[in-house]
Amino acid sequence: GAGVSQSPSNKVTEKGKDVELRCDPISGHTALYWYRQRLGQGLEFLIYFQGNSAPDKSGLPSDRFSAERTGESVSTLTIQRTQQEDSAVYLCASSLNRDEQYFGPGTRLTVL
């Protein structure tokens, strides 16, 4: 079946602009995660959605970051007033439970 997809694959934006990143999870996966991966670094947890429960936003680095998910489908990560330090690959993952997470290909964000 189809895996996790993300769009766009690459995004170049100017400092101060807003960006929206999209994630389509595997159908039927109730859990959805967003991570940030800076160049050569590890996976930094941002936010987690599980079904209709309140999302776990504990990893969001500032109030410029927000995310939404409609039911158990698409999620959008929004970064407002982008800064150069926001440049990274943003990875989305989905899973049936906490265990095996399936990652998308990521969106490479470059803030000039």
Partner 1 sequence: GENVEQHPSTLSVQEGDSAVIKCTYSDSASNYFPWYKQELGKRPQLIIDIRSNVGEKKDQRIAVTLNKTAKHFSLHITETQPEDSAVYFCAAPSGAQKLVFGQGTRLTINP
What is the contact surface with partner 1 in residues (CB under 8 A)?
Answer: 31, 33, 41-43, 45, 48, 50, 56, 91, 98-106
Query: Whose Cβ is closer to partner 1: residue 12's or residue 45's?
Result: 45
- Of the pair 2, 14, the CB lying nearest partner 1 is at 2
User: What does DSSP say about strands 88-95 and 107-111: parallel, antiparallel, or unpaired?
Assistant: antiparallel
> Number of H helices and number of E strands within the chain?
0, 10
Distances (CA, A) of 27 to 5, 11, 39, 53: 11, 25, 30, 18
Of 38 and 81, the one with the shorter C-beta distance to partner 1 is: 38
Distance, CA of 72 to CA of 8 (rounded, Å): 20
CB of 14 to partner 1, least distance (A): 25
At closest approach, how far in Å is the CB of 11 from partner 1? 16
Question: What's the closest the beta carbon of residue 83 comes to partner 1, in angstroms?
Answer: 23
Cβ of residue 3: shortest distance to partner 1, in angstroms?
Answer: 9
Other beta carbons within 10 angstroms of residue 11's beta carbon come to: 18
> Closer CB to partner 1, residue 18 or residue 45?
45
5 pairs with which residues across the strands? 24
